[in-house]
Structure 1
């Protein structure tokens, strides 16, 4: 085997290992949220991380800010269960210590003792620090987050995001997506 082939094989193995480690990071986040494990949750983010939502319901900067935000968010919730579906992870070919990803997810939660269901996706930036992958940026977008009793009709309108105070606001997607808007316009 030529050295260049061996080097390419090494890079491919590193990318596969990075993807597996990032998948474990994503799962660790879901578990930490469900277990209200704040120290573990904080350890998953870089010191300079950013957490954001288009609705601005959850916004924080820096690991400490993110920890403080989750203390408030989880403080009004009882038991919950987050699970992830598909992960699309792309390791940066120019800088193998950076990657981006999209994670599709659902959650069962209980804000203010009100059983609720959510469908969401995370647009992520990941960075390897001291040999470990972390979230550098997470943007959480909700398709819906509604009381469980309203789930059957939740997708019938665009006010599919119920805030902790009970206010109904527009969901983060898909109506805001250019492809969705183009499709709606084309169908008439």
Structure 2
């Protein structure tokens, strides 16, 4: 095996593991309220909102959100798909099932994150995390029906769980012929599964809870 190829493959495996660790560290540091550990997972020049930049602004925003909305949280991670743009940049999708103690109610949530990762000075960081929610509701109130985002004291609203991928709307907008086999597209090229699924779909606008 070519030495350069071996080194590149080893670097790729180590990078995948480092990125997976990012997602786990994100959940643990958030749930344990270690905000210095939490914001250190993001690039030093992380953008916060439209005009603010840096970890200090991110820490202030996370502190305000956690202190005024939740007594406690627990984030449980599911599948994690990672694809590389180049040696130092990658994208990923992470499923997360979350629980929140908020006032007198216990809110459960299903969501996914669309992530952008970047390696800076040999260390992998979040460049961006885009949270896309399917539902949020009290533990004893299954979110059947429309408007599945149901936080205490707020009007229900739509999440963006399916908005990254056009296949959801396309699936329900078509009805296959029963007597004909469907066409099957060619498999996505290596490192292009997520991006082929998304096509040219823009990132949804996320409503701050």
Q: TM-score, normalised by structure 1?
A: 0.83
- 1:48 partnered with 2:60: no
- Matched residue of 1:117: which SS? strand
Bigger Rg over Cα: 2
Larger % of helix: which?
1
Within 5 Å, give how 1:24-103 maps onto structure 2. Answer: 24-50=21-47, 62-75=54-67, 76-93=69-86, 96-103=87-94
Runs of 4+ aligned residues of structure 1 deviating over 6 Å after TM superposition are: none
8 Å Cα contact 1:51/1:138 also seen in 2: no
- 1:126 partnered with 2:126: no
Q: Which runs of 5+ in 2 are unaligned?
A: 177-209
8 Å Cα contact 1:122/1:139 also seen in 2: yes
Alignment RMSD: 2.2
- Matched residue of 1:69: which SS? helix
Of 155, 164, 177, 1:167 maps to 155
- Matched residue of 1:106: which SS? strand
Larger % of strand: which?
1
Q: Partners of 1:89 and 1:44 in 2: how far apart?
A: 17
Q: CA deviation at 1:79?
A: 2.2
- Matched residue of 2:105: which SS? coil
Q: CA deviation at 1:161?
A: 1.1
Determine which structure has greater relative contact order: mean sequence separation of CA pairs < 8 Å that are 6+ residues apart, divided by chain length: 1
**For residues 162 and 39 of structure 1, do their structure 2 counterparts lie closer, same or farther at Cα, with a shift above 3 Å needed?**
same
Q: TM-score, normalised by structure 2?
A: 0.75
Q: Which segment is superposed worse, 72-81 or 159-168? A: 159-168
Q: Partners of 2:164 and 2:93 in 1: how far apart?
A: 17
